[in-house]
Amino acid sequence: MNNNVFLKTKKEAPKDETAINAKLLIKGGFIEKLASGIYLFLPLGWRVHQKIERIIREEMNRLGAREIFLSALQPVSLWKKERIDSMKDILYRLYDSSKREFLLGPTHEEIISMVGKVFIKSFRDLPFSLYQIQTKFRDEPRAKSGLLRTREFIMKDLYSFHSDKDDMEKFYQKVKNSYLRIFKRCGLKVLVCEASGGAFSKEYSHEFMVRTEAGEDKVIFCKNCNFAQNFEISSLKENQVCPKCKKEKLKMVKTIEVGNIFKLGTKFSEMFDIKFIDRDQKEKFVWMACYGIGVGRLMGAVVEVSCDKQGIIWPKEIAPFLVHLITLKSGERKIDKRIEEFSKKSYQTFLKEKIEVLLDQRDISPGEKFFDYELIGCPFRIVISKKTVQKNKVEIRKRKEKEPKLVSLSEAIRILKS
């Protein structure tokens, strides 16, 4: 084994990719493009994806939401109620061998409504919330921003069911806080932005926006009080005084939407006739809300805002590995044996300490290995070489700092765990 993760970097980014996230992720061997808007996740990229998924799962479970898994194939008949028209431009539709028409789910409001309809009978069945981390399909016309806008992607979608508006509002606030924790753990600063209820509701929905020039969305934003409104729905203009704090002029900034939350109200329960018998024995419509995070898009957004000319700078909790361990040969047989032994011992020690290590023992030049380390962007680099083994030490460096330090293995572990 010369590396432990299918380490496959490229010298050049593909010419047809213009987005920074696509260039760096493909060069670094995280993803590979199959067709416009369709990417394959290689082991490095999938590790990052799974770490984001894990954070999301932890936060969803903390809300008391339960995980489910709905199908991608959805009968078109269910969609005839409404969204078949409003979403028609991005729907993939197909027929099975019995000539029944299906579509590939761009989201799952219709299907979860069916689940609600089957299982909700009384107020005792409410409230509850269900989420999935599952593949969505959207035939995007502008799929040219790497992971920011793809035709097939994994989304976390959460749906909540309530007996009245008040209960829905309370849970909506909880989810908003949960989303802020998720993005923070992923190393992202987000604006909470008022947006259109869209196909769903007349009230504001909320979008979680990451500021970057790579963004396709525009937001009117107050840097004093963090008031933010999606430009598409805003009646406000740039340089106007903030209507909330009245202290600062509004700016227009470009953003990437990494999450959104919608109050569905009784829209879907009226459409699908989802009712329950309340404590007062009256039949009422169920209140619903839905909440989405595009996992791949979140990953792409992190790369856009956390990189330098050399490559990616992964936030600690979603880095593919905490440490990139580079072993350099000296050319002197006896010393190389010591380097090998010391590397093996260090690697085993890290594993025992539950520190995740990318082990790079490939037979290439030190320069190439250092180049790949910067490109891949793990939080720490550790080098074991002639210089370090002669002092019985390792060289440790943070991705964001330029000065390496010579430290003992136990000191390195202390630094990595702090």
Footprint on this chain of its own copies (rule: CB under 8 A): 1-2, 5-6, 8, 32, 34-35, 38-43, 46-47, 49-50, 64, 66-75, 89, 92-94, 96-97, 100, 102, 104, 111, 114-115, 118-119, 124, 128, 130, 135, 137, 139, 141, 151-152, 154, 363
- Give the tokens for residue 125: 């069945």
Question: Which CB, 75 or 187, lies closer to its own copies?
Answer: 75
Residue number, 33 or 338, with CB nearest to its own copies: 33
CA distance linking residue 405 with residue 68, whole number of Å:
47
State which residue, 137 or 371, has the beta carbon closest to its own copies.
137
CA dist 164 → 115, 116, 124, 161, 283 (Å): 19, 15, 13, 9, 12
How many other C-beta atoms lie within 10 A of the C-beta of residue 211? Answer: 18
Six-digit token pair at 80?
């005839």
- Which is nearer to its own copies, 242 or 293 (by Cβ)? 293
Of 2, 28, 12, the residue nearest 314 (C-alpha):
28
Residue 363 is classified by DSSP as S
C-alpha distances in angstroms, 327 versus 351, 354, 386?
A: 16, 20, 10
Considering beta carbons, is residue 119 or 308 the nearer one to its own copies?
Answer: 119
Q: How far is the CB of 268 from its own copies (least distance, A)?
A: 16
Instruction: Give me the least distance between CB of 6 and its own copies, in Å please.
Output: 5
User: Closer CB to its own copies, residue 235 or residue 281?
Assistant: 281
Q: Of 4, 5, 11, 3, which is closest to residue 311 (Cα–Cα)?
A: 11
Smallest gap from residue 214 Cβ to its own copies (A): 23
Amino acid in position 145: S
Q: Look at strands 128-137 and 66-67 and give their pairing.
A: parallel
Eight-class DSSP state of 241: B
76's tokens? 């078109």
Based on CB atoms, which residue is closest to its own copies, 109 or 395?
Answer: 109
Is residue 380 within 8 Å of 324, Cβ to Cβ? yes
Report the residue number, 72 or 406, with the smaller CB distance to its own copies.
72
Please tell me the total number of residues recorded for the chain in this structure.
Answer: 418
CA distance 315 to 161: 34
The residue type of 119 is F
